[in-house]
Amino acid sequence: MARSTGYGETWKCVLINRKTRGRLPFFAHTPWAAKNEAMRYLDANKLKDDYLVQEPKEVFKKGIAWNTAVAI
């Protein structure tokens, strides 16, 4: 499970299966690292044509009040 760092940043990049619409999340502490991990997964498994890559989004932000809703 992903946790926020001391810097309070955790980024998520999601791969979406074109046929089943299933999702594979990849978490990292920088946006480029999250996208890089997702792309490595696609390259290693030869699945580039089967998945869409969603741009990284920041999740688990530090400093947000507990009762504030966050839409991702």
pLDDT tens profile 35-45: 999 999 999 99
The pLDDT of residue 1: 43
Residue 60: both structure tokens together: 């688990």
Q: What is the DSSP string of 34-67?
A: HHHHHHHHHHHHT-TTTEEEPPPEEES-TT--TT
The pLDDT of residue 65: 65
pLDDT tens profile 3-26: 544 556 899 999 999 999 999 999
Look at phi and psi of residue 31 and say left if phi exceeds 0, alpha if psi is from -120 to 50, else beta.
Answer: alpha
48 C-beta neighbours (distance < 10 Å), count: 10
Average pLDDT of the chain is 84
Residue 72 scores a pLDDT above 80: no
The pTM (predicted TM-score) of the whole model is: 0.72
